[in-house]
Structure 1
Amino acid sequence: MAEYKVNFKELKSRVGIDDVAYSLGYRLDKKAGIGKYVELVLGDSRNRQDTIIVSNRRDKASQTFFRRDGSKGDVVTLIRENLDRFVVSGDNEWQKVAKVMARFANMPEPEYKQEREFYRGAGHTSEFDPKRYETKTIDSANIPRLFSQRGISDESVRTLSPFLTLIRDTKNENFDGYNVGFPYTDTNNEVRGYEIRGMGGYKSKAAGTNSSSAAWVADMPQGDSVMVKSVFFFESAFDAMAFYQMNRATLPDNLALVSLGGTFSDGQITDVMQRFPNAKAFDCFDNDVAGRIYGLRMMALLEDIPLKITKTDKGLMVEAKGKNIEIDTQRPIISQVSKSLSIRHRMGQWLPPKAFKDWNDCLMNKPMEPIISATKSDRDSNLAEQRKSSMKL
């Protein structure tokens, strides 16, 4: 594939500041009026995190923004300020910015020669080598900014710090610093790899990480697996931390948070639940088709019911025990399946509120679709849904 030159001027003509801002969770401040300038606000009236004033709202190529503290910029500036919110790879910041803008412009993402050579030469590591990585504990007085950028409080980090680490890959010649590592452990509590997150949207796993049966597991109280009564499964460790922070006051004692790291392996579910023989599993996966499939697969494992899952125009079709069950992906799956199959309810669901893709987006108030003009009734309803969110079957 040929490497093409990125034309930022053309990309800026297709991608507006408002396009990027809405995707990040900013909302139009109608009280400020709509004229030559519009104000976009991040957060609600009680917790306003940022306000940007955007000019030339009808002309994407000319859009700029400023803040009342004097800072200003264009769409590239806004992307650079929030680069960690976009999952893109690249050797430097500009490569990542170009990829983000290409996505918004519905254009092919640029492919860089260095990346192709890196992937070709990376090779495959079949077994995790702990000697390759340097790790150190997180300093409670100097918590990495990466967490606050994901809405995760210092208090949450400190509480979960026994299950977090800072990690450096000694074989990475391009980056000599530390990222945040989420240790993957097995049934013997031995580290079998890491889910790794870093600034600028960096997302990876340690070479040779066992994603077949090991997972990130944060059990409280630590080391007393018999006492754990509830195990909450997520697609990422950030989702798990966000869920814990948002629901801490109503969560049961003696629980475990589990991240599958974006992949789903039968062995991860079964091995984790073997650690906690007296616990019930909860599906906390994303609010999308993939998340519903993960939930169905987990239910099949825990209930010992072989399932065949097929995507349809209306949602999903489940074939089990000679029955065909249509699944509406917008509704909890267990109540739909239990109408046709006898299940023992070894799994519950505690899903993100419907407006949000996952728990971390919920914490950051970043809904899947921008809501420009929410009424007070809408806001009250959304707040009530979050408050009533509980361990639903």
Structure 2
Amino acid sequence: MMFEEYKAFKEKVGVDDVAAYLGYKLDRKAGVGKYVEYNIRDGRGRKIDSIVISHPGDKSSQTYFHRNGASGGDAISLIKANINSFGVTGSSEAEMLAAVMSKLTSDDTFITKAEDRYRDMKPQTFDIGRFQMENAAEHFEAVMSFFRARSIDEETVRTFLPFIMRVTDTEAQYKYKDLAFPYTKPGSEKIEGFELRGYNNFRQKAPGTNSSSAAWIADFTKEQPDSAKNVYFFESGYDAMAFYQVNKSRLILETSVFVSTGGTFSSQQIKGITDYYPQARYWDCFDNDIPGILYGVRMESQLSGQFVNIITTDDTIIFQKGADELRLKKEEVTLPKVREKLGLERHIYVWKAPKAFKDWNDVTMNKPMKDLPIKSKYQRNENLREKRRKGTL
């Protein structure tokens, strides 16, 4: 998003407005002058965070800092630090930020531009007619060029061929042939969008993709939802396929469903999928980073029917459920720990990538978040298998 758009937003919405939306209250006892103090309290009235805001009379100039010494910033910084508290969805932080800016100003112009191929397009209804669709099996080698770069093998791709395709956006300036993961609603064959992947790490959803109630759903139960035993949730189709590749010896494919939400998810997506597969066990396979961990918490909160407010500071995450409040260092946050401390019922099981890796595709690529002195177990097994194939063992 451009500097001019940030500037226009901050002329309308100050740090104080964002803080108020998040539940912070003006502390008049601290004084009202060149600086003002806003506090947020838990259900018992205990102060859990304080921020000091400059220039209370000039929204565009407002900045803030935390009383506890944590860093601050401007209105945009405060939104980013609490991006999961605004009830918006998006496939990236930039997309979610634009949605929050639009929400707080009731101004759609903040979401008409994105740093992508479709930056000049306004939000619209998905039009499948603009895409030339090709059967992935008929262009297998071309499709494999995408997957080889992600260390996803031919056996895995052949397994998922019914759920992927190659598409060309005929209305785009450049007619790229992209890999597409089609979005559908549970039980429907109607395509309502695409999760697109292309060269040079291109990743985006097609214009108008229904991310509210549709998702990429690779259902291997032969349209028998009651026979689904496990539904696995991911942030991308690549991650889902990589997960299968790494763990296939432990999976029963015929009773499995793999879902990509393309990043963050909506409550309608989760409700639609869990309602359609009521007998299944649901698995949090989201990324190992903070957003991915919080996706699992949000999903558990939704399925438990108990709202959990999430507040993120520089190094701490605060979870509030009614009068209960839990503060954890970012590196300590896990779904099981939050569930136990807040007394949430268990609806979600966790099967994330090994801790050294951000996601399952990074496992197949042997791409840890930090350099490891040894290879992953999966990588060692793959090396052993390759040596046996070549007859060097």
Q: Shared fold by TM > 0.5?
A: yes
Cα distance change of structure 1 residues 285 and 301 upon mapping to structure 2, 3 Å threshold: same
TM-score (norm 1): 0.63
1:131 equivalenced with 2:132 (yes/no): no
Q: Could you give the per-residue CA deviations for residues 113-132 of structure 1, whole angstroms, max 9, x where no partner exists?
A: xx989766x32142111111
* Cross-structure match for 2:182: 183
- 2:344 maps to a residue whose letter is I
Residues 258-269 of structure 1 mapped to structure 2, 5 A cutoff: 258-269=259-270
2:363 counterpart residue number:
362
In structure 2, relative to structure 1, the CA distance for the partners of 1:119 and 1:146 (3 Å cut) is: closer
In the alignment, is the contact (CA less than 8 A) between 2:246 and 2:378 conserved in 1? no
Describe how 1:108-127 pairs up with structure 2 within 5 A. Answer: 122-127=120-125
Q: Which amino acid aligns with 2:229?
A: K
Change (3 A) 1:135 1:310: same
* Superposition deviation, residue 340 in structure 1: 2.8
Distance 1:327 1:207, change over 3 A: same
Question: Deviations along 1:193-230, whole A, 9 cap, x unmatched?
Answer: 00010112122211110011110010112311111111
Amino acid at match of 2:244: Y
Distance 1:328 1:284, change over 3 A: farther
Question: Aligned residue for 1:341?
Answer: 342
Q: Residues 161-180 of structure 1 correspond to what in structure 2 (within 5 A)?
A: 161-175=161-175, 177-180=176-179
Unmatched tracts of structure 1, length 5 or more: 3-86, 88-114, 388-393
Q: After TM superposition, where is structure 1 displaced by more than 2 Å over at least 4 residues in a row?
A: 115-120, 139-144, 312-315, 326-335, 337-344, 382-387
Relative distance call for 1:118 and 1:182 in structure 2 (3 A) is closer
CA distance in 2, matches of 1:295, 1:359: 16
* Cα pair 1:327 1:336 within 8 Å, conserved: no
Q: CA deviation at 1:279?
A: 1.1
Counterparts of 1:173 and 1:339, CA distance in 2: 51
- Written as runs of structure 1 = structure 2, the 5 A alignment for 1:173-322 is 173-175=173-175, 177-189=176-188, 190-253=190-253, 254-322=255-323
Question: Counterpart amino acid of 2:156?
Answer: S
Where structure 2 has 5 or more consecutive residues not aligned to the other structure, the ranges are 4-91, 93-113, 382-393
Displacement, 1:319? 0.7
1:367-389 deviations in Å (ceiling 9; x for gaps): 11123xx2xxx55xx539999xx
167 and 188 in structure 1: CA distance in 2 versus 1, 3 angstrom threshold: same
Structure having the higher helix fraction is: 2
Q: % of aligned pairs identical?
A: 36
Name 1:73's counterpart in structure 2: none
- Residue in structure 2 matched with residue 106 of structure 1 by the alignment: none
- Report the secondary structure of 2:249's partner residue: coil
2: CA distance between counterparts of 1:152 and 1:335? 30
Pairing 1:132-147 to 2, within 5 Å after superposition: 132-139=130-137, 141-142=140-141, 143-147=143-147
Please give the alpha-carbon distance, in whole angstroms, between the structure 2 residues aligned to 1:156 and 1:330. 33
**Residues 322 and 230 (structure 1 numbering): CA distance in 2 closer, same or farther, change over 3 Å?**
same
CA gap of 1:347–1:119, structure 2 versus 1, over 3 A, is: closer
- Taking structure 1 as reference, are residues 130 and 118 closer, same or farther at Cα in structure 2, changes over 3 Å only? closer
Q: In the aligned structure 2, how far is the partner of 1:205 from the partner of 1:369?
A: 29
- How many angstroms apart in 2 are the aligned matches of 1:252 and 1:119? 39
Evaluate the alpha carbon distance shift between residue 386 and residue 343 of structure 1 in structure 2; reply closer, same or farther with a 3 A threshold.
Answer: farther
Question: What does the per-residue CA deviation read over 1:259-315, in whole Å, with 9 as the maximum and x for residues that have no partner?
Answer: 111232121111111221111211111111111111111111111111011113443
Secondary structure class of the residue paired with 2:262: coil
**Offset, 1:328:** 4.8
Separation in 2, partners of 1:298, 1:206? 25
Q: CA RMSD in A?
A: 2.7
In structure 2, the CA distance between the partners of 1:312 and 1:116, relative to structure 1 (3 Å rule), is closer
SS in 2 for 1:192: coil
Match of 2:377 in 1: 383
Residue 181 of structure 1 aligns with an amino acid whose one-letter code is A
Letter in 2 for 1:292: I
- CA offsets, 1:77-111, max 9 Å, x none? xxxxxxxxxx9xxxxxxxxxxxxxxxxxxxxxxxx
- Displacement, 1:243? 0.5
Tell me the TM-score normalized by structure 2: 0.63
1:323 paired residue number: 324
Q: 1:118 to 1:291 in 2, by over 3 A?
A: closer
